[in-house]
Structure 1
Amino acid sequence: MYTTGTAFLEALQEAGVSYIFANFGSDHPTIIESLTDAAQKNKDLPKVIISPHEFVAMSAAHGYVQATGEPQAVIVHVECGTQNLGGAIHNAFKAKVPVLVFAGASPYTQEGEMLGSRNEFIHWYQDVNDQRGIMRGYSKYDNEIRTGKNVKQLVHRALQISKSEPQGPVYLMGPREAMEEETESVEIDTSLWEPISPSAIPEQDVNDLVSDLLTADNPIVVTSYLGKKEESVDELIKLCENLAIPVLESVPQTMNFPANHPMHCGFQWNEDKQHPILEDADFILAIDSDVPWIPTKNKPSTNAIIYYIDADPLKEDMPLWYIPSKRFYRADSQVALNQINKVIDEETIDESSVSARRKKIETFHMKLKKEIEKAEQLKGGIITPEYLTACVREIVDENTIVLNEGITNYGVVNTHIGASEPGSYFSSGAGSLGWNGGAAIGAKLAHPDKTIISLTGDGSYLFSVPSVVHTMAEQYDTPYLTVIYNNFGWNAPKHSTLGVHPEGIAKNANKFWVNFNPNSELAKIAEAAGNAHAETVEDPDKLKTALKIAIEQVKNGRSAVLDVRISKV
């Protein structure tokens, strides 16, 4: 029988979805029937990855999309499974990651009137007034499938919206009766469902921007996720090399500009200090960045000319957000930078001014490099985050993807890993912890030939549901290395408290309510659940050997977790 569920799965296949990260329930009989039927008939459908926790399913889809740019699907169980997506859907929405989420819904008949009518007690408890409302603040689009006659159109429309900038997750739900409905196959011309074409800056405005740029003495580019497209990175490198413009990466989600490039002037997260080049800037191109700076800690001069370019330049889903700028452009970064570069190619450049600036920025870059090297030195026999990251860097090669969920060590990881190749580095791009584990599975599915290294705090490791993550990693042959920066607690709330109350009661009592059980053997969770290589490291003299053994295990097909003990919170 050809059902709405069958058509739904076919639509995902037509749209180029490779994987369905699924947590099935009582609302999915027709999906299960159709998947089994297709398997027996060797019919092509997206591959199912069984995910025993919905948060991990969503994080895995998130990681896959980051690594490929191609939207994937997540299937969850009614409103309970939808809510279990929790912080993972926040991450996907805030990081602008295109994913289609489908949930069933409790049957709407109870006396056997239709195929799929209620036959389990849970169908009454899981019937809620506004299931779609759970997702409404975290998705670009939501709808209910009511019939199989237009289910394919709904799927393709949802994915069209999901893939259009600013990208993001979408949500469809379908009651059992609707999904079980027998229907006829509909042919879809997928070329008619493409996402919105990239936007450009108006031609005259490009000339104005370039005019301001060329007359500036101290221009700077600030970006966070421009590296989602490799072509954008190439255009940015061209611009910065031509005019000797420094680049500052603010809370980077991707590798946006090579860290080893002489025009790279560092990273910023929550550091309580003013960046000198940003402070001196008289022209700022903020491009693809939600938070280019934190005004209470680090901001430009009030006299700086700011141009803001982004797919979502007004941040309409952020109730409080403003960066007063001369111009705001809703434009694609690659298109906009290409426009800027073409105009500059036709302009007469003051080479003496550019040369002087180039020397100044290169000097700053070299000074920064020396400070980084100094910070990596061992101190007092304690493994510092800086030393740990430097040791990890030694096992990173051109075929490695590094994932960063180091929380209070975000900036340390960025600075000391020093990613320089597009697609070699990712963070979650948002604020809900635990992305690291599922994302590593997704990245490995996307690039089976690459080595995946996940760097995480102990808190974010626990948030990732490591038991689920590692049973999936073994089941689906997606081995990767996890390095836990274990300080036995949540350092972030302590930092936040001290940031507001630097001499407060908590500081004087040294009581912050953030410490974890010091006897926990975190790596053994992965060993028990997924047969991972597990080791705890406290001695700095044993760290490099442990890392070498662990990465060899990963390259031989077995996940590894190193629980590295650093200074306690």
Structure 2
Amino acid sequence: MTYTTSTAFLEALGEAGVRYLFANLGSDHPGLIEAYARARADGGASAFPELVVCPHESVAFSAAQGYAQVSGEPQAVLVHVECGTQNIGGMLHNAAKGRVPVLVFAGASPVTQEGELPGGRNEFIQWIQDVHDQRGIVRGYTKYDNEIRTGHNVKQLVFRALQIARSEPAGPVYLMGAREVMESGIPRQETDPAWFAPVEPAALAPSTVELIAEALAGAENPVIVTSYLGRDPEAVPALVRLCELAAVPVIQSVPMWFNFPSGHPLHWGFQWNTTGPNPLLAAADVVLVLGSDVPWIPSENRPDAAARLFVVDVDPVKEQMPLWHVPAECFARADLRTAVNQLADALRGRVDRSAVADRGVRAAGEHRAYQDAVAERERTNGERITVEFLLACVREAIDDETLVLTEAISGYQAVCDHIHRRLPGSLIGSGGGSLGWAAGASIGAKLAAPERMVVSIVGDGSYLFGVPSSAQWVARRYHAPSLTIVLDNRGWKSPKLSTLGVHPEGMAARNDDFNVSFEPEADLPGIAAAAGGAWGRTTRVASDVERDLDEALKAVRNGRSAVLSVHLDRV
């Protein structure tokens, strides 16, 4: 058969706008491999997504996620039965928590064993890889899962899966199909992807607009808290307009996106695992949360109990989080750009201009104090390299168009404070808590924006989690060079900080016994050089940082990936 379920499946991805299929191939994929080969032989391969071969599934998935985060368009991942499905687990978590649309297809062990159908079992592994509920492996993390049981409606299933993936709150979806089904010949399939558009953006109800606008207009010390409003880059200038209209400052809590210009006088900085109260948040009488999973940590830095709280979000009550609560008087589900524009329109002509002017002056003063404190931390004495000094050097070495991927973990706060991004979409994180995302995401980001420099800032733990040998090989093969800067403290700092947070005077603290050292030290750049032909260097003294950054960036501009491992104080 020359037109099979596999052919129709790949056509459907192409018709839906999927440009890349990031693949880790296995014994369940002969139908797809044959479909690609036939298409290339017949000159019709352009109808299919380009196949990107990835030697590890986590790299394939994070590359698809990175592409979707930069372009806004979901990409697809191909993995091998239940084994490959489990290998994407951590990256699937990131896309689910980060609300990023990705389609995963996994084959399944053949369903016949006596030669009844083409594609039936003929390898021992197909009995071992047959499990009761393969889709159940991912069901806690996907918006939709289904099995392709016939090729006669395969395009409908693909388009429906992508429709659900793209509808807010967005997220990953999962399809699977047995080998016999994917091998079966079918009539040519014609289904219009335009019938499967994502759900249109939702707006706030007029009464909700009135309630929140009235609260903001009457507040003495309003504050907006956001984490991921910048998932939609066009929501950022809308937020700036709203804030300037009423002189409302912004605090970014646990941000993995660019949400607000860090140099704007209404920007009041970032908070991550901040211990102790945030005095600016504590002084607020009205707090508007616009897209945040963790707007504050209740035991450490919650707003004053008398403050009026409002939550507007594509996911306002976090149905997928078993324990979550913000004591707000209003929860509203809405597209953030739409909601912010509604609120700005409602506030026009309603605010007290004198009060707004006074508040703007006070807010700008707080912003200057924040900037001064940040600048002070960037100074260095002697040859010791601090993370703040390093990030200041990175900031000066890159331009506004550079895409910065952050997976610095214990350095998340420092990256936000010192990189100073100005353009929407120029800073992204994984959106979740599973490490290793940046290695593959940098490939997807570069494929989505080949004209832009891509710089990943990671910890040494994150770097190793990313399967750098696989990721660097893929980057080389598919001409997707980027710079990876490793904040190398030779260990896991975050588990140490977590332990100190619970047992500040415990035995681990007394004896400095945390089991977090990565000694003996690995040659982190050497991994990239061996697997991907990357430029690599380890920087140990402050006077070498600027020179090494310059050489690394030149290598990337010349088409070669680079890894710069920078020695910080040991954990």
Structure 2 length as normaliser, TM-score?
A: 0.99
Partner of 2:411: 409
Consecutive unaligned residues in structure 2, runs of 5 or more: none
Partner of 2:159: 156
Q: Tell me the SS of whatever aligns to 2:421.
A: coil
Partner of 1:381: 383
Task: Give the C-alpha shift of residue 153 in structure 1.
Answer: 0.5
1:241-296, CA deviations, whole angstroms, 9 ceiling, x for partnerless residues? Answer: 11111001111111000001010000111121322211101111101111111112
Q: Please tell me whether residue 331 in structure 1 is matched to residue 331 in structure 2.
A: no
Identify which of 89, 94, 104 aligns with 2:92.
Answer: 89
Letter in 1 for 2:78: I
Give distance in 2, aligned partners of 1:103 and 1:133.
Answer: 13
Letter in 1 for 2:508: A
Contact 2:167–2:198 (Cα < 8 Å) also in 1 = yes
Detail structure 1 runs of 4+ shifted over 4 Å in the superposition. none
Partner of 1:227: 230
Partner of 1:122: 125
Letter in 1 for 2:315: D
Task: Give the C-alpha shift of residue 210 in structure 1.
Answer: 0.6
Q: Tell me the SS of whatever aligns to 2:191.
A: coil
Contact 2:250–2:268 (Cα < 8 Å) also in 1 = yes
Partner of 2:19: 18
1:3-54, CA deviations, whole angstroms, 9 ceiling, x for partnerless residues? Answer: 0111000110111101000001000001001111112223221111101000
Task: Give the C-alpha shift of residue 445 in structure 1.
Answer: 0.3
Q: Tell me the SS of whatever aligns to 1:272.
A: coil
Identify which of 291, 298, 311 aligns with 1:288.
Answer: 291
Contact 2:97–2:432 (Cα < 8 Å) also in 1 = yes
Letter in 1 for 2:239: L
Partner of 1:142: 145
Partner of 2:465: 463
Partner of 2:443: 441
The RMSD of aligned alpha carbons is 0.8
Task: Give the C-alpha shift of residue 531 in structure 1.
Answer: 0.5
Partner of 1:170: 173
Give distance in 1, aligned partners of 2:444 and 2:434.
Answer: 17
Give distance in 2, aligned partners of 1:2 and 1:292.
Answer: 52
Give distance in 2, aligned partners of 1:253 and 1:407.
Answer: 11
Mapping for residues 117-516 of structure 1, pairs under 5 Å: 117-345=120-348, 347-516=349-518
- Number of residues paired by the alignment? 568
Give distance in 1, aligned partners of 2:519 and 2:41.
Answer: 49
Q: Which moved more, 1:469-478 or 1:37-46?
A: 37-46
Give distance in 1, aligned partners of 2:350 and 2:138.
Answer: 52
Letter in 2 for 1:525: I
Consecutive unaligned residues in structure 1, runs of 5 or more: none
Give distance in 2, aligned partners of 1:472 and 1:367.
Answer: 44
Q: Please tell me whether residue 566 in structure 1 is matched to residue 568 in structure 2.
A: yes
Letter in 2 for 1:311: V
Task: Give the C-alpha shift of residue 206 in structure 1.
Answer: 0.6
Mapping for residues 529-544 of structure 1, pairs under 5 Å: 529-544=531-546
Give distance in 2, aligned partners of 1:499 and 1:407.
Answer: 16
Give distance in 1, aligned partners of 2:489 and 2:89.
Answer: 26
Contact 2:23–2:53 (Cα < 8 Å) also in 1 = yes
Partner of 1:40: 41
Give distance in 2, aligned partners of 1:7 and 1:372.
Answer: 55
Identify which of 527, 539, 562 aligns with 1:525.
Answer: 527
Partner of 1:9: 10
Give distance in 2, aligned partners of 1:296 and 1:518.
Answer: 38
Give distance in 2, aligned partners of 1:460 and 1:92.
Answer: 17
Structure 1 length as normaliser, TM-score?
A: 0.99
Q: Tell me the SS of whatever aligns to 2:140.
A: helix
Q: Tell me the SS of whatever aligns to 1:103.
A: strand
Give distance in 2, aligned partners of 1:177 and 1:452.
Answer: 42
Task: Give the C-alpha shift of residue 380 in structure 1.
Answer: 4.5
Q: Tell me the SS of whatever aligns to 1:483.
A: strand
Give distance in 2, aligned partners of 1:552 and 1:442.
Answer: 21
Give distance in 2, aligned partners of 1:418 and 1:411.
Answer: 12
Q: Which moved more, 1:290-299 or 1:108-117?
A: 290-299
1:133-154, CA deviations, whole angstroms, 9 ceiling, x for partnerless residues? Answer: 0010110010000000011100
Q: Tell me the SS of whatever aligns to 2:443.
A: helix
Overall identity of the aligned pairs, in % = 52
Give distance in 1, aligned partners of 2:68 and 2:98.
Answer: 11
Give distance in 2, aligned partners of 1:349 and 1:60.
Answer: 46
Q: Which moved more, 1:175-184 or 1:347-356?
A: 347-356
1:372-431, CA deviations, whole angstroms, 9 ceiling, x for partnerless residues? Answer: 110000035310000010011111102200011011000001100011110110011110
Give distance in 2, aligned partners of 1:519 and 1:407.
Answer: 19
1:433-470, CA deviations, whole angstroms, 9 ceiling, x for partnerless residues? Answer: 00011010000000000000000000000000000010
Give distance in 2, aligned partners of 1:212 and 1:375.
Answer: 37
Q: Tell me the SS of whatever aligns to 1:297.
A: helix
1:179-221, CA deviations, whole angstroms, 9 ceiling, x for partnerless residues? Answer: 1111012211222100111111111221111111100000011
Partner of 2:558: 556
Q: Tell me the SS of whatever aligns to 1:296.
A: helix
Q: Which moved more, 1:137-146 or 1:223-232?
A: 223-232
Give distance in 1, aligned partners of 2:274 and 2:406.
Answer: 17
Letter in 2 for 1:475: R
Letter in 2 for 1:21: F
Give distance in 2, aligned partners of 1:411 and 1:337.
Answer: 26
Partner of 1:62: 65
Give distance in 1, aligned partners of 2:401 and 2:245.
Answer: 29
Q: Tell me the SS of whatever aligns to 2:169.
A: coil
1:35-86, CA deviations, whole angstroms, 9 ceiling, x for partnerless residues? Answer: 1111222322111110100001011011101101100000000000000102
Partner of 1:99: 102
Letter in 1 for 2:390: L
Task: Give the C-alpha shift of residue 342 in structure 1.
Answer: 1.3
